[in-house]
Structure 1
Amino acid sequence: MSEPSPSPVDPDVDLTVTAERVELHPSPIPVLAAVSVGGMLGAAARHGLGVAWPHTPAEFPWATLVVNVSGCLLIGVLMAVVTRVGSGRLLRPFLGVGVLGGYTTFSTYVVDIQQAVAAGRAGVGLLYLAATLVAALAAVWAGVGVTGRLIRRRTARRRGGQENR
C-alpha cells in the first residue's frame, strides 16, 4: 500500500537552508519591492471591502470574515501552484507575502472579537471567532486540494495527448 503524497510545503519554510531561499539571490531588493507593491495592492483591496461593507462593534464583521476566508483560499491555491508547477523568483513573494499578506487581516479579526465582547455581544464575538477559524482552515484545505487535482488532471491530459501523437 502506497503512502499518500504529503501536503505541499512552502519551499522556504526552513530559512536556515540557503538553497531554499533562491529568490533572495543575487540581491533581495527585487523581492522586497515585489512584497511592498503586492502588500499595497492587498491592503487597498482589504480596505475597499471594509469601506464598502462596514459594521458596528455589535454587528457580525462580514467583510473581515470574507477577506480572511477568501485570502486563505487563494493562499491554498497559490501554494498548490508553487509546489506542483513551480514559479518564477518573484511570484510567491509578490502574491503570497505581498498581496495576500496585505489582504488578509487576522489582527482586525482579533480586534473585531474584542469590540463585539466590549459591546456586550459576546455571542457574536464567539461565533465570529469559531466561524473564521473553521472557514479559513477549510478554505486553505479546499484551495490546495482542488487546485492540486486540477493540476494533476491537466498534467495527465498533456501526457496523454503527447503519447497519442
Structure 2
Amino acid sequence: MSALLVALGAAVGAPVRFLVDLELKHRLGAAFPWATLLVNTVGSLILGALMALPLSPGATALLGTGLCGALTTYSTFAYETVQLTRAGSRGRALLYVLANLCLGLGSAWLGLTVTALLFG
C-alpha cells in the first residue's frame, strides 16, 4: 500500500516540477536554473512542515516521499551545477549551490518551525 501512495504523490509532484520548469524557462530563459531552485526550496518547505505534523505512515508516504520526493530533484541540481561549470559560469554554479543549500535548509527549518508553532 505504501508503494502505491508514494506513486500517487509522485504522480502529482513530477508533473508540477516539469510545468514549473517549462514556465520559468519561458519567462526567465535558461541562463540560470531558477525552476530547480524554486521546486527544491518549496519542496523543502513543505517537507519541513510535514515533519511537524503527526502524520500517519500512509500520509508520510504520499506527501513526504511521493509528492516532495518527486517535486524536488537532487540529480537535476547536480547536473545543472556541472553544466554551469562546464559553460564557464563558475560564479553562477557556486551561487546556485549555495542558494540550493541555504534556501533548502532554511525552508525546511522555516516549515518545521512555523508549523510546530501553529499546530504544536
Match of 1:155 in 2: none
Match of 1:53 in 2: 24
Bigger helix share: 2
The percent of aligned pairs where both chains have the same amino acid is 36
Match of 1:79 in 2: 51
Q: In the TM superposition, what is the alpha-carbon distance from 1:90 to its structure 2 partner?
A: 1.2
Q: Structure 1 stretches of 5 or more lacking a match?
A: 1-29, 153-165
Q: Deviations over 1:44-63 (max 9, x none)?
A: 1101101111243xx22111
- After TM superposition, the runs of 4+ consecutive aligned structure 1 residues lying more than 3 A away are none
Give the match's secondary structure for 1:53. helix
Letter of the structure 2 residue corresponding to residue 71 of structure 1: G
The higher-RCO structure (CA 8 Å, 6+ apart) is 2
Q: Deviations over 1:121-159 (max 9, x none)?
A: 11101100011101110001111111101113xxxxxxx
Distance, in Å, in 2 between the alignment partners of 1:88 and 1:148 is 17
Please list, as runs of the form range in 1=range in 2, the aligned pairs for 1:62-73 lying within 5 A after superposition.
62-73=34-45
Letter of the structure 2 residue corresponding to residue 60 of structure 1: F
Q: In the TM superposition, what is the alpha-carbon distance from 1:87 to its structure 2 partner?
A: 2.4
RMSD: 1.0
Give the match's secondary structure for 2:56. coil
TM-score (norm 1): 0.68
Larger radius of gyration: 1
TM-score (norm 2): 0.93
